Every structure is written in C-alpha cells, then in structure tokens.
C-alpha cells in the first residue's frame, strides 16, 4: 500500500478535501505557535486536542503537557499510530511543513 505525502518548506495556505495537515503538537493541545497555531487558525484543529485527527489535521505530540520537548522514544508510539492511521486512509494526502 502506498502512502502519499508531501513535505514542504513553502507555506501551506490551503488544503484540498483529501489533504490533511500533519503538525507537531503538545499533549495539552495548546496550539499557541508554529505549525500548531497554523493548524488551528487555518485548518480546524481544535484547542485541547494534542494527538490524532482534529479538523483537517493530524496532531503528533513532540512536547508534553508542560510544553517540554519529549524524547524520540516517547514520540515513536505516536508516529506508529499515525502511520497506521495513514494506511487506513489511503485516499488522504498528508502534508507537513518543515522549517529550514
């Protein structure tokens, strides 16, 4: 099964119906800055949702409830669940913004 995705350094300003914005979140779901704020303001991510599908987005925690960065080992299970979600939704295209 092929999972389509696009990673870009260009601003993502709109999504088609089959596109999902994937962003780094915190477990408290406080979308206060960066891609999380974009997800909330532009693509319907709900404040308070720190993991999983929300709006036209998918949140992957990279920080804990106190907004402290978590380790790669702590992030890994969330990524594993996301990969399974992507496999179960093969018609969706997952986009992520990188900062360079």
pLDDT per residue over 22-60, tens digit each? 999 999 999 999 999 999 999 999 999 999 999 999 999
**Residue length of the chain:** 100
Give yes or no for a contact between 63 and 72, defined as CB atoms under 8 angstroms apart: no
Instruction: Calculate what percentage of the chain has a pLDDT beyond 90.
Output: 80
CA gap 16, 13 in Å, rounded? 10
Do residues 95 and 9 lie in contact, with contact meaning Cβ atoms separated by under 8 Å?
no
- The pTM of this model reads 0.88
Q: How confident is the model at residue 2 (pLDDT cuts 50, 70, 90)?
A: very low
Task: Tell me the pairing of strands 57-63 and 5-8.
Answer: unpaired
């Amino acid at each position: 099964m092929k999972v389509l995705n696009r990673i870009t350094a260009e601003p993502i300003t709109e999504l088609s119906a089959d596109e999902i914005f994937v962003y780094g979140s915190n477990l408290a779901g406080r979308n206060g800055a960066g891609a999380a704020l974009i997800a909330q303001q532009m693509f319907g991510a709900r404040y308070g949702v720190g993991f999983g599908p929300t709006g036209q987005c998918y949140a992957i925690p990279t920080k804990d409830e106190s907004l402290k960065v978590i380790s790669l080992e702590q992030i890994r299970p969330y990524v594993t669940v996301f990969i399974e979600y992507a496999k179960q939704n093969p018609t969706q295209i997952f986009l992520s913004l990188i900062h360079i």
